[in-house]
């Protein structure tokens, strides 16, 4: 996986894409991301245009491109929010592997298709119960088995929200949690359970080995 440019015409402006790159540059400097461009462009697909993974030391940090407006908006677009008003992020525990696992690219694209197909407006505190491993196991080639079956959403603790020329974009981090933790969230709140997890893991890294 190597960095690629925005998947549009050579002369197409991409102020939304540039704004995301600038936010990531504030965290990772000049580090080149491992970037995956998806096969079909946005006009022909409900999925993402791309997804980048950054080496964050003890974990990989994935960030999507395509749920916000990456290029020049149309006259009917809401100037307050860029596209859906958010992109997704995911932090995955890193072992000794030199390249980021492939399953997060697949799962984030699947979540994007869910958003675009069903018009789902995600916000911090929401939950997505997959009723199956968040790694896509056994259907994704490298997705490991895991007890984590639910994605809980929080504002990415490093990226937060940004203002772009196309409107506001929140970086919503999906965090893998167990079915038991989902029940705790239903009894209290998503934020309370994530705050408890953040006490020992402030960046809320998803660890498939966690039970």
Q: Does the pLDDT value for residue 75 go beyond 90?
A: no
> Half-sphere exposure of residue 68, counting CA atoms within 13 Å on the CB side?
33
Structure tokens at 23: 């936010």
Average pLDDT, rounded, for the chain:
91
* Cis status of the peptide bond prior to 43, with omega within 30 of 0: no
Listed range (60-64, 72-76, 143-147, 196-200) with the worst mean pLDDT: 72-76
Q: How many CB atoms lie within 10 A of CB 142?
A: 13
Please report which confidence band the pLDDT of residue 73 belongs to, taking 50, 70 and 90 as the band edges: confident
Q: Which residues contact residue 195 at a Cβ distance below 8 angstroms, ignoring those fewer than 6 apart?
A: none
| pLDDT attached to residue 43 | 52
Q: What is the CA radius of gyration of the chain?
A: 16
**Which tens digit of pLDDT belongs to each residue from 8-32?**
434 478 999 999 999 999 999 999 9
| pLDDT attached to residue 10 | 47
Question: For residues 149 and 85, what is the distance between their CA atoms, to the nearest angstrom?
Answer: 26
Note whether 41 and 4 are within 8 A (CB): no
CA distances from 66 to 131, 193, 201 (A): 26, 29, 28
Look up residue 52 and give its DSSP letter: E
3-state secondary structure of 44: helix
**Environment class of residue 138 by beta-carbon count within 10 Å: exposed (0-12), middle (13-18) or buried (19+)?**
exposed
Q: How many CB atoms lie within 10 A of CB 48?
A: 26
| pLDDT attached to residue 131 | 97
> Half-sphere exposure of residue 28, counting CA atoms within 13 Å on the CB side?
21
Note whether 60 and 91 are within 8 A (CB): yes
Higher pLDDT, 61 or 41: 61
Structure tokens at 111: 């979540």
């Amino acid at each position: 996986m190597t960095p690629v440019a925005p998947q549009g015409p050579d002369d197409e402006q991409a102020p939304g894409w540039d704004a995301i790159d600038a936010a990531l540059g504030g965290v990772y400097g000049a580090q080149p991301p491992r970037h995956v461009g998806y096969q079909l462009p946005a006009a022909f697909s409900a999925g993402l245009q791309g997804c980048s993974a950054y080496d964050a030391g003890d974990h990989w940090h994935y960030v999507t491109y395509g749920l916000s407006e990456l290029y020049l908006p149309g006259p009917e677009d809401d100037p307050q929010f860029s596209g859906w008003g958010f992109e997704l992020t995911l932090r995955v525990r890193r072992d000794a592997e030199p390249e980021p696992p492939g399953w997060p690219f697949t799962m984030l694209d699947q979540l994007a298709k869910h958003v675009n197909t069903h018009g789902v407006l995600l916000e911090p505190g929401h939950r997505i119960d997959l009723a199956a491993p968040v790694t896509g196991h056994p259907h994704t080639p490298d997705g490991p088995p895991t007890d984590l079956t639910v994605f809980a959403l929080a504002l990415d603790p490093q990226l937060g929200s940004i203002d772009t020329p196309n409107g506001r974009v929140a970086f919503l981090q999906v965090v893998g949690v167990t079915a038991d933790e989902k029940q705790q969230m239903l009894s209290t709140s998503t934020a309370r359970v994530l705050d408890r997890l953040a006490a020992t893991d402030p960046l809320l890294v998803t660890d498939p080995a966690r039970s």
